[in-house]
Structure 1
């Protein structure tokens, strides 16, 4: 920690210098209080940074619903129902004699009074299938040998089902390797080491690499694409996981850098002609081949903070405008058409009026005479500047029904790797992080398309990977 600067001797300062010192101290105090007042509901800070203190739910934008708790009217529920053909039966016959007259009962004439069924899984145990090849010699002396299939390559080896289960537990369900090995032993009686699980993950990555590459190509040509990034600890260092996603596709990539170098290296976002939805992070604006759309959920949180700090009316007005536009756009989308031109023009006019009102209340600060450099601007001014510069990107969702209101698709994709890191602590190696990204890209994509993640892994390890739908 650097040494603290010596304190100024107040007795040697003029009244003007004392006033400037007091103003500077108050400015620093305001900045510290503002930073302490930020949380996940009024800024881009993650919920994990809020700590254990009870949240102030009065600032939530979700509001109280008028719906009752539980299933809603018209909701198609599901419950356990009897099957016509049970796997097995267990009979409980009546006694062999009457308990009143003690006569023998004709049990062969007994009829079923009631049926009850229990759904359960059988006690699991591993099986060992021995594969054999044969040799035979013809009368002419020619020897003929049968051959093993390509999948049977070792004297002793594990099959695709148990390997798929091990990879699913570590990459799909996020379990640490030691706990996954323990669970496999308790379920099946098969003793598998964490090192073996690690080898299976590497095999799955190779088996799914072609599928992940296909997903990346499909995302590059997607008309609307959501992107996000988040930090992860890899090999004791900070790395960055980049996400590209749509409602049907998900792709993960790891890189040592967060900025445009990583974006260019991954190759999905550059030279796209569609719409890119993001959180207004600077490097995304370097991608100027297509159109941009901003995540309005981020902006709504920042508007909450601006309202708390300034006490002005324009943040609440902008919040109401965006939420009303979201509601009307969603209703129009359900009817199969975008908002009409008149509604779009009305929203744009009100939007400009709100921004203009905020700019009048939060003008840019000027440096005192003789001072050089830029003056630090308030958070409210910077937020308004963003609303002014990127109005088209913020309101794109009301004109284009294919553009979502927020970047929620990409943010949901980010959660699973964060869960993996929270459970396991970190990725020990870069190769392990790359394996996770490739496998998770395929699992999340094919899960969105209705496939079982366990079946995806089983088929990939059996040499028959499932291809994602175009």
Structure 2
């Protein structure tokens, strides 16, 4: 007799199969939910990162002020003295236009009163007494350019009747523009960052001399060749300086990215354009470190410099602390305290450099009051782990802590790299206008023009006069003028 399976056993098997299937679905759902949770956490972190990047500006990062939008510019924090009225302050020494001496004046006009202001009696020129009150008006004459025509005459030989034509002096034959016009062209192209088309317009429309874009470019290249000896002099002076600042910013050669490097001291500034922004390029720009003190930002290419002679920029640190102060929680509160301390430190150090506070007194204040509290706040922030910005952990390394206070050990060393950043402002403006260079010769030209213009400024000499003398020396094959005394 065949025994039929129990319906209950069949039902149990069906339920067990269904249970196994449901368990599998539940496990898949749990894995899917876990995956979604991980993706959500990653997305939230990315959103937070992007929001912080959107909040970066010139006040809390190394972005230039020109990159700030209208809203960010409106929200910029005013300086502590921002409540002062515009213009010169009370007690500020006045700046007045100095009168030219009489021997430099081209024209004189004399005015005499016609009647006495007291009794009304008629007055004449012979009644004049005392020295006149002088007032000078300067005007641009209609013709600003001089044209010298060099005529090559021919003489006929009385013996054989052959005519011989004179040759032009070599310095005259080389160009249709004089050395000072070339110097003016190069100076305007550097100090006022004029483009080639603007220079062509200026020479043709304002000065009234024949000009073209090709003519402008040819004479700028002549100026570049003339300035090579002066550029070399500046390079030598930088190697002898006791303190130098180094910085870099972008440039272009055609469509290829390049970098402008500047190394500057109180006496000179040298610019070089390279295709990289690496440690090897930094070593080439700096050369042998020697006993010089270096002031830079925290960029890693400068990390090979000895810590005891390498000052990191406190202006950059201030921006990092501003960004840190915008975080939530205790880390943000610590950032606010570091920001306040940093502003106070830089303010007092500026007053010290202006001889308003004795140097030794300020150094003692920094060592006893500022530095211990500064480092304690950094350690307190570092206790929060990854919630603290990376700059906190970076600063707490022994080497980097030493780099933050080098200026205390060496009188005269600046605590910021602002001088190097100021030296790059002109090239940055020129980059925005011209979009860079087109050839290696163009790169060398810009290096020399920037170097000569900035070094002349630091030497308190006229860039126009120096470039003019350099072009004259080149044309006459004479020694180049001395740039640095």
With normalisation by structure 1, the TM-score equals: 0.81
Deviation for aligned residue 1:58: 5.4
Aligned equivalent of 1:278: 296
2:264 maps to 1:249: no
Q: Quickly say closer, same or farther: Cα 1:309–1:133, change in 2 above 3 A.
A: farther
> Which 10-residue stretch deviates more, 172-181 or 68-77?
68-77
Of 235, 257, 277 in structure 2, the residue corresponding to residue 238 of structure 1 is 257
Aligned equivalent of 2:322: 304
C-alpha separation in 2, matches of 1:411 and 1:272: 23
C-alpha separation in 1, matches of 2:449 and 2:85: 40
Deviation for aligned residue 1:385: 1.1
> Which 10-residue stretch deviates more, 10-19 or 227-236?
10-19
User: Is the 8 Å Cα contact of residues 34 and 309 (structure 1) preserved in structure 2?
Assistant: no
Deviation for aligned residue 1:189: 1.7
C-alpha separation in 1, matches of 2:415 and 2:309: 15
Q: Quickly say closer, same or farther: Cα 1:108–1:252, change in 2 above 3 A.
A: closer
Q: Quickly say closer, same or farther: Cα 1:209–1:255, change in 2 above 3 A.
A: same
Deviation for aligned residue 1:131: 6.9
The structure having more radius of gyration, on CA atoms, is 2
Deviation for aligned residue 1:468: 3.1
Q: Quickly say closer, same or farther: Cα 1:460–1:382, change in 2 above 3 A.
A: same
Q: Deviations over 1:186-207 (max 9, x none)?
A: 1222111111111111111111
> Which 10-residue stretch deviates more, 111-120 or 33-42?
111-120
Aligned equivalent of 1:382: 390
2:310 maps to 1:292: yes
2:86 maps to 1:78: no
SS at match of 1:151: helix
C-alpha separation in 1, matches of 2:366 and 2:135: 60
C-alpha separation in 1, matches of 2:363 and 2:128: 73
Q: Quickly say closer, same or farther: Cα 1:35–1:106, change in 2 above 3 A.
A: closer
2:365 maps to 1:343: yes
Q: Quickly say closer, same or farther: Cα 1:343–1:198, change in 2 above 3 A.
A: same
2:457 maps to 1:467: no
Q: Quickly say closer, same or farther: Cα 1:228–1:159, change in 2 above 3 A.
A: same
User: Is the 8 Å Cα contact of residues 57 and 72 (structure 2) preserved in structure 1?
Assistant: no
C-alpha separation in 2, matches of 1:327 and 1:50: 24
Deviation for aligned residue 1:120: 1.7
> Which 10-residue stretch deviates more, 39-48 or 336-345?
336-345
Q: Quickly say closer, same or farther: Cα 1:223–1:309, change in 2 above 3 A.
A: same
Flag structure 2 segments of 5+ consecutive residues without an equivalent: 1-26, 115-121, 158-164, 474-478
Aligned equivalent of 2:55: 37
Deviation for aligned residue 1:382: 0.5
Of 330, 352, 365 in structure 1, the residue corresponding to residue 375 of structure 2 is 352
User: Is the 8 Å Cα contact of residues 10 and 18 (structure 1) preserved in structure 2?
Assistant: no
Of 131, 149, 165 in structure 1, the residue corresponding to residue 184 of structure 2 is 165
SS at match of 1:227: strand
Of 214, 231, 234 in structure 2, the residue corresponding to residue 215 of structure 1 is 234
Deviation for aligned residue 1:65: 3.7
C-alpha separation in 1, matches of 2:123 and 2:410: 77
Q: Deviations over 1:369-418 (max 9, x none)?
A: xxxxxxxx45x331101221211211222333322121111111111111
Of 444, 447, 459 in structure 1, the residue corresponding to residue 454 of structure 2 is 444
User: Is the 8 Å Cα contact of residues 187 and 453 (structure 2) preserved in structure 1?
Assistant: no
User: Is the 8 Å Cα contact of residues 232 and 239 (structure 1) preserved in structure 2?
Assistant: yes
Deviation for aligned residue 1:69: 2.3
Deviation for aligned residue 1:457: 1.3
Aligned equivalent of 2:160: none
Q: Quickly say closer, same or farther: Cα 1:91–1:236, change in 2 above 3 A.
A: same
With normalisation by structure 2, the TM-score equals: 0.78
SS at match of 2:396: helix
Q: Quickly say closer, same or farther: Cα 1:147–1:428, change in 2 above 3 A.
A: closer
User: Is the 8 Å Cα contact of residues 297 and 313 (structure 2) preserved in structure 1?
Assistant: yes
* Cα root mean square deviation, aligned: 3.5
Number of aligned positions between the proteins: 431
Q: Quickly say closer, same or farther: Cα 1:66–1:50, change in 2 above 3 A.
A: closer
Aligned equivalent of 2:80: 63
C-alpha separation in 2, matches of 1:272 and 1:115: 56
Q: Deviations over 1:121-174 (max 9, x none)?
A: 32213321437799999xxxxxxx9986552344x6321121112222223321
Deviation for aligned residue 1:262: 1.9
Deviation for aligned residue 1:437: 1.0
Aligned equivalent of 1:369: none
Q: Quickly say closer, same or farther: Cα 1:32–1:65, change in 2 above 3 A.
A: closer
Deviation for aligned residue 1:358: 1.0
